[in-house]
Structure 1
Amino acid sequence: MRREEIEASSTVKSADRTLDLFELLARWGREMSHAEIAEALDIPKSSLTKLIRNLTDRGYLRFVPETKGYRLGDAILKLAQQSNQLRSLIACAEPVLGDITQQTAESCALNQLKGEQVEVVATVVSQQRLQSHMRLGDLAPLYAVSGGKAILAFLPDVMRAEYMRSVSFERFTKNTIGTKKALLNELESVRANGFAHSLEEFTPGIVGLGVPILSSTGFPLGSLNLAIPAVRYSPEIGERSIAILKASAVRIQRQYLAE
């Protein structure tokens, strides 16, 4: 077996052990000692010690001194809460997306931050013959699409600064933003005006308009965007579409925060 295959096999084995440990503690319902875990999962104690130390350091396990045992940590709960929050946001947004498309006759989507990209998590497609398809799971760079810029502009300063340090630009079309200075200038405009646009910057022939959905603290929970074929776009349509998007974002925000 080659070295690469051995390393891959070891990685998969470690991942399996981690998942087995999480499932064991979730089923058991109380703290378990190092010895109990090792026996239940048939893991060598030396290997288990390294695994537990790493998971405890990262908050996925918690050591309870009174029982000298381990239980699932807060990081696991946070992951579950984030998953529930995403489902809740999608549930709030889905009927609104339908209304947006009904009012504009264009395809629209709900997007969320995923690393240094933006991901489509819900979408409604226009019924017009000439339409833009935004599929669930589609990813795009934050700097290249309206939904990404709408999120990026409202991120906390430290998160946006970290992104700006690491971002590298790919030219998807002749209109794609290609410098940090140009991006920073545009993000300032997005914050001032409350909306973002992408003028054939990611997909030739498509104009994107996007607005953020903000939490009570101003953090971008996600964004709404419209994808309009450039042949149907005009300043008047843009102005009307932005007003619809902004009102829709407020509607989703109010319902989400009320839950």
Structure 2
Amino acid sequence: MNKQTGGDGTVGKALDVLDKVAEKARPVRFHELLAESSHPKATLYRLLQTLVRQGMLSYSDEQQTYSLGLRLMHLAHAAWQQSSLAPIARPFIDHLAQAVGETVHLAQLDNGQVLYVDKRKAASPIEMFSQAGKIGPGYCTGVGKAIMAFLDEPQLSQVIQKQSFYHYTPNTLTTSERLRSELMSIRSDGVSFDREEHEPGIICIAAPILSLSERPLGALSVTTSTQRKSVEDLERFRPDLLETAAKISAAAEDWQFPG
């Protein structure tokens, strides 16, 4: 979730609490939230009660724990349908996954990070970080770099400032200068690669999904492991990948600009 709570009053504070509960990935007790909260005890309790009443959190009397509420599932599904490329792209990425026999990811940029909005697994899937709904770094993923390469300069500068440049693997780009250099090459070449930059053993080729004005709407990748393919082998997926990205781009025009 985006951390944009500063100066947003009660709504911002409530979203901050939701973030804290979500980060735990398990039911959490009040004292755990209080230990990490910047809010006074009474304020935190009031926010939690409001979120429970609104169905955004659920509370277990037996366990005395808070967890994410079912209302969030309804909202997430609505967001998936209204604000993501996933419903439009699904038939195209299904076809691509079958054609290449590898895992296909669909992603969009969210507050400088990569939000995976769909994932279609190959017949023999491999374990990896990315799942639909997960957020990953922009600077060291194929989809992230593919999107960033086609941002205009003001947007790109803002997005680069939000990157952590954490050193995930020996291949991770850890400076804005190195990232910018690669983004220039990606813009010229039309595709990006993840050369084990986020996870050891995981590689991909990715392409941006662009509007008619070449504004990046998202990105598409074909992902595999170094146990099965080399980075050079990924080139064989380029034609199918670019064709699929173009089809999604055409289908997305009505979604972006309804008549």
Corresponding position: 1:228 with 2:224: yes
What secondary structure sits across from 2:185 in the alignment? helix
Between the aligned partners of 1:218 and 1:162, the Cα distance in structure 2 is: 19
Structure of greater Rg: 1
Q: TM-score, normalised by structure 1?
A: 0.67
Which residue number corresponds to residue 187 of structure 1?
A: 183
Which residue number corresponds to residue 213 of structure 1?
A: 209
What secondary structure sits across from 1:203 in the alignment? coil
Task: Provide the aligned C-alpha RMSD in A.
Answer: 2.8
Between the aligned partners of 1:104 and 1:152, the Cα distance in structure 2 is: 25
Letter matched to residue 42 of structure 2 = I
What secondary structure sits across from 1:95 in the alignment? helix
What secondary structure sits across from 2:168 in the alignment? coil
Which residue number corresponds to residue 141 of structure 2?
A: 145
Structure 1 alignment gaps of length 5 or more:
20-80
Q: TM-score, normalised by structure 2?
A: 0.67
Matching residue within 26, 35, 40 for 1:4: 40
Number of residue pairs matched by the alignment: 197
What secondary structure sits across from 2:160 in the alignment? helix
| 1:92-103 correspondence to structure 2 within 5 Å | 92-103=88-99
Deviation of 1:12 (Å): 5.6
Contact kept, 8 Å, 1:125 with 1:132, in 2: the verdict is no
Structure 2 alignment gaps of length 5 or more:
1-30, 55-77
Which residue number corresponds to residue 250 of structure 1?
A: 246
Which residue number corresponds to residue 111 of structure 2?
A: 115
| 1:154-193 correspondence to structure 2 within 5 Å | 154-193=150-189
Contact kept, 8 Å, 2:96 with 2:241, in 1: the verdict is yes
Deviation of 1:11 (Å): 4.7
1:116-158 deviation digits (Å, cap 9, x = unpaired):
2101111110112656574211221000100111111112211
Between the aligned partners of 2:80 and 2:104, the Cα distance in structure 1 is: 22
The 3 A distance-change label for structure 1 pair 166 and 254 is closer
Contact kept, 8 Å, 2:168 with 2:197, in 1: the verdict is yes
What secondary structure sits across from 1:231 in the alignment? coil
What secondary structure sits across from 1:232 in the alignment? coil
Corresponding position: 1:86 with 2:83: yes
Deviation of 1:176 (Å): 0.8
Between the aligned partners of 1:200 and 1:255, the Cα distance in structure 2 is: 32
What secondary structure sits across from 1:149 in the alignment? helix
The 3 A distance-change label for structure 1 pair 126 and 217 is same
Deviation of 1:115 (Å): 1.2
Letter matched to residue 83 of structure 2 = L
Contact kept, 8 Å, 2:126 with 2:224, in 1: the verdict is no
The 3 A distance-change label for structure 1 pair 14 and 162 is farther
Which residue number corresponds to residue 125 of structure 1?
A: 121
What secondary structure sits across from 1:204 in the alignment? coil
Letter matched to residue 43 of structure 2 = E
The 3 A distance-change label for structure 1 pair 215 and 12 is farther
Contact kept, 8 Å, 2:172 with 2:197, in 1: the verdict is yes
Matching residue within 129, 135, 147 for 2:131: 135
Letter matched to residue 175 of structure 2 = T
What secondary structure sits across from 1:201 in the alignment? coil
What secondary structure sits across from 2:40 in the alignment? helix
More helix by share: 1
Which residue number corresponds to residue 44 of structure 1?
A: none
